[in-house]
Structure 1
Amino acid sequence: MKKLFFILLISSAVLTSCSQPAKGVHSVSPQEGYDAVYNKKESSLQLVDVRTAEEYGVSHLKDAQNICVTDDDFQEKVKTLDKDKPVYVYCKKGGRSSRAAEILSEMGFTQIYDLSGGITAWEEEGLQTTQ
């Protein structure tokens, strides 16, 4: 019984720690992202599409730069971003952008916004993309 309790306690701690966003990372809805990007609530924001170049070529958000999180040189490329300005990241559904946001946080970025549901949720909301 004690073993079972201990296993449940450890499992709970691991699951809880894995579900916590990285420091400085905020999840934003497609509408919040749209307002920031197109209504320029954040005039100095940096918008990063972390998908592959092929995915980016099909459609992306206006003014987004493509820095693929699965590329070996991702960290080197994001060093060109300003750590003092907001960074909005997105991918297809949210998995890769979550990883990118975690990396950015580890690198010292403090204003990181992860588009919840990625470009898929954005398009489902009927929001504009660019080809």
Structure 2
Amino acid sequence: MKQLVILPLLIVMSLSKPLQDQVITVLPLNKFIALTKDKDVQLIDVRTPEEFKQGHIINAKNIDFFSQNFDVQFENLDKSKPVYIYCRSGNRSGKAAIKLAKKGFVKILDLEGGYLNYSKNNH
């Protein structure tokens, strides 16, 4: 009898997952690098311009998470294509990913451990 009650509950819970859980994926470094090798991807560094100048992933575009026009700068991106994002450690990019999901981006891929992970692994 308990199984009859639990199964519908699990189905309802899976259907009610927040939008961001369905469109945001945190990727390990090796997979993130492999997927961003193509120069035609939407690769966004959400760190400050100062951090970006100190080093960044090749072909990344800098859109500062703390900028007043952060949301506006994403209007030129294609919401139907994947967006690859990273920050210093993963905190800001995680917050940025949630914002982008709410704005209608369908696939957001966040670098696990951010640029610190990237740089410490000799990239």
Letter in 1 for 2:51: E
Give the root-mean-square deviation of aligned CA atoms: 1.7
User: Are residues 1:114 and 2:110 paired?
Assistant: yes
Aligned to 1:23: 22
User: Are residues 1:102 and 2:101 paired?
Assistant: no
CA distance in 1, matches of 2:71, 2:117: 26
SS at match of 1:68: coil
SS at match of 1:27: strand
- Deviation at residue 22 of structure 1 after TM alignment: 3.9
Letter in 2 for 1:57: K
Aligned to 2:32: 33
Structure 2, unaligned runs of 5 or more:
1-16
Q: Check conservation: 1:47, 1:64, Cα contact below 8 A.
A: yes
- Deviation at residue 44 of structure 1 after TM alignment: 4.2
TM-score by length of 2: 0.80
Runs of 4+ in 1 over 4 A off after TM superposition: none
TM-score by length of 1: 0.75
Q: Check conservation: 1:22, 1:101, Cα contact below 8 A.
A: no
SS at match of 2:33: helix
Letter in 2 for 1:92: R
Q: Check conservation: 1:101, 1:112, Cα contact below 8 A.
A: yes
CA distance in 1, matches of 2:30, 2:76: 27
Letter in 1 for 2:24: V
Aligned to 1:61: 57
Question: Aligned pair count?
Answer: 106
Aligned to 1:89: 85
